[in-house]
Amino acid sequence: MEKLSRREFTGGALGSVLTWSLLETLFENEAFGDDLKPITGKWLAEVSEVSQDLKDEKVKQVIWQEKVEELFSKVRLDELLELVDFERLRKNLKIKAKSETSLRFNFKKAEGAPSRVAFGKQIFALNKGNSVIPHGHNNMATAFLILKGELHGRHFDRLEDQPKHLIIKPTIDRKFKPGEHSSVSDYKDNIHWFEALTDNSFIFNIHVLGLKRPGTKLPTSRVYVDPEGEKIKGGLIRAPRSNFRELNRKYG
Ligand SMILES: [Fe+2]
């Protein structure tokens, strides 16, 4: 891979508010020119395989969650970052003042890695106080791996859908550091919300969409919900349904 000088980079990103230093803080010197280790390619193949199995309904959503989190706990972050195609990433440099900023990227070719992975992926960039705002999901399995920064992560089980509310139950509520991870499915920890406690926080995200769920005709999508709802018995919350704009104003 051709090495980029700092000047070339800054020139290319002119007009963007995501600066060299923000991306540099993610990649440090790891991403530049090192050979990829075969073990990283094999790791990517394993994440892809279990995601394909999920699409093919060979594994259940909660098993995908377990396996992906196990794989996330094994990978070294510097090796994972070496897989990220930096050239592609630098084309979409724009970090929003509020909310999450989604950075799109491709994986580099690596020994043992599939040419196409069976999951969608992105990197979220957040500064202090920005959030991946609270939302649930329909027909989706998704997982987060913290790459950099500290975040306050919360998950909720989605127990019941009502016309204007969801009945939810807090399941995870703690600080997340680099290397830590969590996951979502239709059946477990369906709602998540991550607030950055530090500037230059980055989250690696994978997702598998369009999963079939017997007994429901809901479209594949995010479901926006405000977890600060009415506390009801058994530690549950009657959380109002909401929308991106409203939640972004409140939590973004
Ligand atoms: Fe999500």
For residue 185, what is the domain's CATH number?
2.60.120.10
Asked whether the predicted pLDDT for residue 13 surpasses 90, the reply is no
| C-alpha of residue 142 to centroid of ligand 1, in Å | 7
Tally of CA atoms within 13 A in the half-sphere of 224 that contains its CB: 13
221 in helix, strand or coil?
strand
Across 87-96, average pLDDT: 67
Residue 78 neighbours by CB distance under 10 Å = 14
Phi-psi region of 88 (alpha: psi -120 to 50; beta: other; left: phi over 0): alpha
Considering the domain boundaries, does residue 1 fall inside one?
Answer: no
Question: Which of 26-40, 83-97, 143-157, 210-224 has the largest mean confidence?
Answer: 143-157
Considering the domain boundaries, does residue 206 fall inside one?
Answer: yes
| C-alpha of residue 193 to centroid of ligand 1, in Å | 8
Closest by Cα among 145, 144, 148, 131 to 97: 131
> Which pLDDT does position 21 carry in this prediction?
63
Confidence of residue 208 (pLDDT cuts 50, 70, 90): very high
Considering the domain boundaries, does residue 12 fall inside one?
Answer: yes
Considering the domain boundaries, does residue 52 fall inside one?
Answer: yes
Considering the domain boundaries, does residue 178 fall inside one?
Answer: yes
Question: Which of 9-18, 73-82, 194-203, 222-231 has the largest mean confidence?
Answer: 222-231
Residue 229 sits in which domain range? 6-251
> Which pLDDT does position 95 carry in this prediction?
65
- What are the helix (H) ranges across the chain? 6-12, 20-27, 38-55, 61-74, 77-82, 86-89, 244-251
> Which pLDDT does position 8 carry in this prediction?
45
Considering the domain boundaries, does residue 89 fall inside one?
Answer: yes
Number of domains forming the structure of the chain: 1
> Which pLDDT does position 40 carry in this prediction?
86
User: Could you give the CA distance from residue 46 to residue 61 in angstroms, rounded to a whole number?
Assistant: 16
Across 211-228, average pLDDT: 92
Asked whether the predicted pLDDT for residue 6 surpasses 60, the reply is no
| C-alpha of residue 231 to centroid of ligand 1, in Å | 23
Tokens of 102: 């989604």
Considering the domain boundaries, does residue 175 fall inside one?
Answer: yes
| C-alpha of residue 239 to centroid of ligand 1, in Å | 17
| C-alpha of residue 56 to centroid of ligand 1, in Å | 22
User: Could you give the CA distance from residue 42 to residue 66 in angstroms, rounded to a whole number?
Assistant: 18
